[in-house]
Amino acid sequence: MRETARIVRFYEAGGPEVLLIEDLPLPEPGPGEVRLRVKAIGLNRAEVMFRNNQYLYTPSYPSKLGYEASGVVEAVGSDIDNAWIGKTVSTVPAFPANKYGVYGEIAIVPVSCLATYPSKLTFEEGTSIWMQYITAYGALIHHADIKKGDVVLITAASSSVGVAAIEIAKAEGAISIATTRTAKKKDQLIAAGADHVIVTDEENLVTRVNEITGGKGARVIFDPIGGPGLASLAEAASPFGTIFVYGALSPEPSVYPLFSALGKSLRFQGYTLFELTTDAKLLRQATQYISAHLENGSLSPKIDKVLPLSEIVEAHRYMERNDQIGKIVVTV
């Protein structure tokens, strides 16, 4: 076994070019930790924000990054059962972004963040499930308890989380309305299972939602953008509807639409998947739901592009261009 491993780190906040691949001594897992031999890495928008120092956590330099990897456990801490060694697993985003990171040939991670996945999935698919499906599951199933016939409005729907939300809505018999800025992704969102697609550069969001729902509006809205667009989402919501805001992609401040909220008795809920991944019982429920639906085929991770670790900078550039539909994966 090599005594070194290629690890991605960065020494300052900035664009994709700050990411460096370094040959570092092979680390040993400490108490509560394992060493994962990484086979594939799933990229997430959170990592772009963390790299830019615009995330929930502040980088400690030199900083690693990355939440999702699949691979094989090759070493464990002194307090961890050796039965983990040799297991194929993937990592659940259940650790601080500024303490652990999975971009590289190996990753030291807490054993508590490991999960097995259906054996029919490839390493590329295995690293493309937990962030997107737990995020969507937490809002749509755990909190909103969507049912057959519910209308779910999904903004920025071409992201991996957006596609996951479309799949979960379909699995529960709900009606999904996906939004995208330009028409170039419309057909692919329909192919992913969306019942309706609104092209926001060409169509009025509120008008189209009212047309689709017969004026009733959407009971559940799933939004990673925030910003001034919250006013339109409030107009598109049904009375007593819930707007889940799980991101802050808008560069502009979010303004609370008070009168719409009062007039419709709306609920705005800030939400991240960490509500579930840091609670053992809720995480178990989430992973059981997702694994069962992966097994029956109602959930199937959509991979947009696969790049090698040597092209990690280009992978981040590609994510920032917002051209993808589904997951960007880096293989090792």
- The DSSP line for 129-178 is SHHHHHHHHIIIIIIT---TT-EEEESSTTBHHHHHHHHHHHHTTPEEEE
| Closest-CA residue to 34 (of 95, 97, 85) | 85
pTM above 0.85, yes or no: yes
Number of domains in the chain: 2
> Residue 286: inside a domain, yes or no?
no
Is 293 within the bounds of a domain? Answer: no
Angle between helices 160-171 and 130-137 (to 10 degrees): 50
Rounded CA separation 161/167 (Å): 10
CATH of the domain at 322: 3.90.180.10
Domain boundary residue among 274, 289, 313?
Answer: 274
Percent of residues, the chain, with pLDDT higher than 90 = 96
Over the stretch 119-171, which tens digit does the pLDDT of each residue have?
999 999 999 999 999 999 999 999 999 999 999 999 999 999 999 999 999 99
Tens digit of pLDDT for each residue in 304-330? 999 999 999 999 999 999 888 989 999
Give the per-residue pLDDT at 322: 87
- pLDDT band at residue 43 under the 50/70/90 scheme: very high
Following DSSP, what letter does each residue of 171-217 receive, concatenated? HTTPEEEEEESSGGGHHHHHHTT-SEEEETTTS-HHHHHHHHHTT--
- pLDDT greater than 90 at residue 230: yes
Segment 193-222, tens digit of pLDDT: 999 999 999 999 999 999 999 999 999 999
Residue with tokens 């379909």: 170
Query: Is residue 54 included in any domain, yes or no?
Result: yes
Q: Are 36 and 64 in contact (CB under 8 A)?
A: no
Query: Mean pLDDT, the chain, as a whole number?
Result: 96
Residues 118, 48 within the same domain: yes
Q: 217: Cβ–Cβ under 8 A, 6 or more apart, which residues? A: 151, 209, 210, 236, 237, 238, 239, 241, 264
Please, what's the largest Cα pairwise distance for the chain? 65
Please give the Cα distance from 214 to 237 (Å, whole number). 12
Output the six-digit token pair for 172.
Answer: 């529960």
Could you report the per-residue pLDDT of 158-196, keeping only the tens digit for each?
999 999 999 999 999 999 999 999 999 999 999 999 999
Q: What is the pLDDT of residue 142?
A: 98
Residue 94 has pLDDT above 80, yes or no: yes
Tell me the one-letter amino acid at 223: D
Is the sign of the CA dihedral 90, 74, 94, 310 positive or negative? negative
Q: How many angstroms separate the CA atoms of 89 and 71, rounded?
A: 6
CA atoms within a 13 Å half-sphere pointing along the CA-CB vector of 262: 4
What is the reported pLDDT for 56?
86
Report yes or no on 284 lying in a domain.
no
Token readout for 204 is: 């009025």
Same domain, 229 and 250: yes
| Claim to verify: residue 306 and residue 200 sit in the same structural domain | no
Whether residue 188 lies inside any domain: the answer is yes
Query: Do 137 and 270 reside in the same domain of the chain?
Result: yes
User: Identity (one letter) of the amino acid at 115?
Assistant: A
Q: How far apart are CA 122 and CA 329, in angstroms?
A: 12
CATH number at 230 reads 3.40.50.720
Residue 291, in any domain of the structure: no
Q: Which domain holds residue 148?
A: 133-274
Q: Is residue 33 part of a domain?
A: yes
Residues 165 and 199 in one domain: yes
Amino acid present at 10: F
Measured between alpha carbons, how far is 31 from 110 in angstroms, rounded to an integer?
9
Helices (H) and strands (E) in the chain, counts: 11, 15
Q: Are residues 142 and 259 in the same domain?
A: yes
**Residues 261 and 170 placed together within one structural domain of the fold:** yes
Share of the chain above pLDDT 70, in %: 100
The pLDDT value given to residue 1: 67
Region 65-91: what's the mean pLDDT? 97
Examine residue 289 and state whether it is found in any structural domain, yes or no.
Answer: no
pLDDT band at 248 (very low <50, low <70, confident <90, very high): confident
Residue pLDDT, tens place only, 16-39? 999 999 999 999 999 999 999 999
Are 25 and 151 members of one domain?
Answer: no
67 and 95: one domain? yes
Clarify whether residues 106 and 139 are in a common domain. no
